[in-house]
Chain A
Amino acid sequence: MPDAAPLWATVILPVALVSVAVVTAGFDAVLSAAAVRGRPGSPREVGTWAAAPLREAFRLLAQQPRRTIAADVALGRIGVVLVPVAAVLAGAVLPLGFRPVSDPAVGIVWFNAMEALAWAAVWLTGWGPNSALSLIGGYRFLAQGLAYELPHMFAITTAALGAGSLRVGEVVAAQDGLWFAVWMPVAFLVYLLSAMAMSFWGPFGHPLGRDTAGGAAMELSGVDRLVLLGGRWLLMVVTAAVSVPLFLGGGNGPLLPPWAWTLLKTALVLAALVAGRRLLPTLRMERYTEFAWLVLVPATLLQALVVAVVVLNR
């Protein structure tokens, strides 16, 4: 079993997550700008487009925060700050190569617990400003949680079942020969869907939807806004990255060192999510819940059953 990483990894982790998030947001911005403005004229133009999220971050840093009347500032702040905090804490069990910052015996449970913090975070953010549309956005995320969380938990349970361990390191070790994504495709696909859902992004962006003028984030400005929206990208990077040890063999791979394989696989998953979001419209939860409970829950349960039978006969 791999050892835990040295102490410096604790410092490196947030920096690495932020860097990957900036690159991913830049890629997303280029695709969006191409839709708005047509084909880019020069590589330089593409560079300008890719830097848009960074420019926006600096703009928000210069903006004075504003308050709404009778707002619960403390609660709202807690909600906003919880988003990146949950992301980084969830990332603690993320092995870069084979060494995570921490590899507890219940690593998968830890990851799931941290991402569930996002429920509280978005709801508090929506509640804080004392604003109707913002509150509606917050509640939408609870409805979303109700829809995605069960299939999601069955999906990660399936990976743990396949390895016979809740330790992320052992899940990676169990995929030495065959990736879990290959023989647990349903669980893997459901996991990718919930990666977008828990970072309330893309087709699952309804809590921050345009129809509510930004939903839970509607009243946020300045640093608050930066922390929430930045935290959202961090959450997405972390959940996408965790799919690598859970389903894509972690750092296993020929030629390249394990950390490079981890990074490469993470990048591919993120690229798939950024491109894939453009194929789906925003999912309204009254429709998606039906699909999640009638199709995804039975499908993931069946998947878990198949894996359980295989494991028992091994």
Chain B
Amino acid sequence: MALPAVLPGATQARLGVEAELRRRGWETAQAPAAADLLVVCGSPYPEEDRRLDTLLRTMSQPAARVDVTRPEHAAQALDEGFALLRDKAASRSESPLGHEDAAAGKHDAHPAKGTAPAGPAHGPHHEHAGPGHPGQDAPGGHSGHEAHTMSTVAGLPMADRAADRDGLSLDRLNLPLGPVLADWPAGLILRCALQGDIVQEVHVDRVPGPSDGTSFWNEPWSRAARGEPVERGAAARRRCAAHLDSLGRLLSLAGRPDTAARLRRLRDDVLAGAPSVHCGERLQALTKRVERSRTLRWGLAGLGRLSAERARQRGVTGPALEADGDVHDRLLTWSREARRAVRDFDDGRPLSTGRLIGPRGTVEGTVPPSQALLDVLPELLTGTELGCARLIVASLDPDLDEPVAVPATEGAHA
């Protein structure tokens, strides 16, 4: 079972890996515990690279890591990963000593970062689990959350207390969401303070990404802005695929995995240049079912309400502005835009360079469109339940391949 770890700027590599996993019928793990193959998409910065190695050490043995930087290498990398796993399994059964070593190393390691936030007792330590801290030493020093004095259990700081929304003093734990998390925007880290499963406070952060900041989803519009000739059809295909990708993520989280899988398969066919009639029919059938689903509406309506007025104030420009509403409205907007885009698949005229609106908003504006989406996250997430928070993030689906900046200093590489 593979666990993809997607880095910013590696959207194409991720799509390649997803297609290859699908072809082989390998499942995608939701967390490190279930996985045996860590598939890193993109080329990590050294710091991130060490973190991923730490993550690998916390996975159940036998486990292996492979890196995929280009989509066409996905098949080869997965073959290698499979061979690595087979060798490890074989050598383990031959030498009991190696077995114990592996177990001991694992026992010491931290239960992964990001996706494997360990328990109520862990708190701030998690924030820097990984690079310099393979063991359980030194809980303090990095995160900016540890101004309090803490008692520790097994070397981990105890949860802190703070007043909750009703004024009761409750345990408060600091839990980073991401970056290695299923159905999560690549490279995003949300540092949350939780009480129970209510998000009390959110700080947006990111893993250090590529410096060129070109986004795969914005590519046609970015190229047009640079004066290169881009066909409208190509841009429409990219927009459609981008929305299908976002929809897939949201529906997967909302508990419609089969619909999500169909949307993702269609996304890959759209990108591969399948005939527009064929795409249009499948899209029509799928989106109709999604748009008409009353149970889906019941589950999503009322979450993460972002009025057009507020969105405009925060500089949001794309579908999130147009939706003028909650998670379900944004889902409908993506769905409608994807269907509209199909009609332009065969349009050979050049993209006009006047208003360049990509899948997430105005490309080449003063700020990248995803920047505005990241900026509205804290106000939308504060006070929501963790499950709702995940849905809200997915309904905005910021793209960290764009050159977005986050307030935290450690993420300011981009």
Q: Does A129 contact B (CB under 8 A)?
A: yes
Check B118–A131 contact: CB distance below 8 A.
yes
Given contacts A37-B22, A37-B25, A38-B265, contact A284 B299 (CB under 8 A): yes
User: Within 8 Å CB of B296, what residues of A?
Assistant: 281
Chain A nearest Cβ from B200, distance in angstroms: 13
Check B391–A63 contact: CB distance below 8 A.
no
Check B33–A221 contact: CB distance below 8 A.
yes
Chain B nearest Cβ from A28, distance in angstroms: 11
- Encode B27-41 as 1/0 by CB contact (under 8 A) with A: 100110110100000
**Category for how many chain B residues contact A:** 35 or more
Q: Does B224 contact A (CB under 8 A)?
A: no
Check A219–B31 contact: CB distance below 8 A.
yes
Complexed CA–CA distance, A280 and B254 (Å): 10
Of B64-72, B99-107, B160-168, the one touching chain A: B99-107
Q: Does A11 contact B (CB under 8 A)?
A: no
Given contacts A67-B107, A211-B253, contact A218 B31 (CB under 8 A): yes
Selected from A130, A212, A219, A281, the residue in CB contact (under 8 A) with B386 is A212
Q: Does B1 contact A (CB under 8 A)?
A: yes
Complexed CA–CA distance, A247 and B116 (Å): 43
Check B183–A130 contact: CB distance below 8 A.
no
User: Within 8 Å CB of A212, what residues of B?
Assistant: 386-387
Which B-chain residue is minimally distant from A67 (CB atoms)? B107
Check A139–B197 contact: CB distance below 8 A.
yes
Chain A nearest Cβ from B69, distance in angstroms: 25
User: Within 8 Å CB of B227, what residues of A?
Assistant: none
Chain B nearest Cβ from A138, distance in angstroms: 11
Complexed CA–CA distance, A64 and B30 (Å): 18
Selected from B25, B33, B59, B120, the residue in CB contact (under 8 A) with A218 is B33
Q: Does B58 contact A (CB under 8 A)?
A: yes
User: Within 8 Å CB of A219, what residues of B?
Assistant: 31, 33, 111, 116
User: Within 8 Å CB of B386, what residues of A?
Assistant: 133, 136, 211-212
User: Within 8 Å CB of A133, what residues of B?
Assistant: 117, 175, 386
Overall SS of chain A's interface: helix
User: Within 8 Å CB of A10, what residues of B?
Assistant: none
Which A-chain residue is minimally distant from B106 (CB atoms)? A66
Which B-chain residue is minimally distant from A222 (CB atoms)? B60
Of A92-100, A180-188, A202-210, A236-244, the one touching chain B: A202-210
Check B262–A130 contact: CB distance below 8 A.
no
Chain A nearest Cβ from B131, distance in angstroms: 17
Check A214–B30 contact: CB distance below 8 A.
yes
Given contacts A59-B1, A132-B194, A210-B30, contact A66 B122 (CB under 8 A): no
Which A-chain residue is minimally distant from B259 (CB atoms)? A35
Q: Does A31 contact B (CB under 8 A)?
A: yes
Check A210–B116 contact: CB distance below 8 A.
no
- Encode B250-271 as 1/0 by CB contact (under 8 A) with A: 0111111111011001000000
Chain A nearest Cβ from B384, distance in angstroms: 11
- Encode B104-134 as 1/0 by CB contact (under 8 A) with A: 0011001100011111111000000000000
Q: Does A147 contact B (CB under 8 A)?
A: no
Q: Does A282 contact B (CB under 8 A)?
A: yes
Selected from A35, A129, A210, A280, the residue in CB contact (under 8 A) with B295 is A280
Q: Does A65 contact B (CB under 8 A)?
A: yes
Chain A nearest Cβ from B259, distance in angstroms: 8
Which B-chain residue is minimally distant from A284 (CB atoms)? B387
- Encode A190-220 as 1/0 by CB contact (under 8 A) with B: 0000000000000101100111111001111
Check B60–A130 contact: CB distance below 8 A.
no
Complexed CA–CA distance, A214 and B106 (Å): 21
Check B265–A36 contact: CB distance below 8 A.
yes
Check A210–B253 contact: CB distance below 8 A.
yes
Q: Does A283 contact B (CB under 8 A)?
A: yes
Check A63–B60 contact: CB distance below 8 A.
yes
Given contacts A131-B119, A225-B34, contact A48 B25 (CB under 8 A): yes
Complexed CA–CA distance, A139 and B171 (Å): 15
Check B117–A220 contact: CB distance below 8 A.
no
Selected from B58, B120, B258, B391, the residue in CB contact (under 8 A) with A278 is B258
Selected from B25, B111, B251, the residue in CB contact (under 8 A) with A69 is B111
Q: Does B385 contact A (CB under 8 A)?
A: yes
Contacts from B to A (Cβ < 8 Å): 1, 22-23, 25, 27, 30-31, 33-34, 36, 58-62, 89, 99, 102-103, 106-107, 110-111, 115-122, 136, 153-156, 173, 175, 181-183, 194, 196-197, 251-259, 261-262, 265, 293, 295-296, 298-299, 385-388, 390-391
Contacts from A to B (Cβ < 8 Å): 31-33, 35-38, 48-49, 52, 56, 59, 62-70, 129-136, 139-140, 203, 205-206, 209-214, 217-222, 225, 278-284, 286-287
A66-B58, A214-B33, A220-B33 known, 12 other contacts, Cβ within 8 Å: A49-B25, A52-B25, A63-B61, A64-B61, A66-B60, A70-B156, A211-B253, A211-B391, A213-B31, A278-B256, A283-B255, A286-B385
A/B interface sample: 13 pairs, CB < 8 A: A63-B36, A130-B121, A131-B122, A212-B386, A213-B31, A213-B115, A214-B34, A219-B33, A278-B258, A279-B295, A280-B255, A281-B255, A283-B255
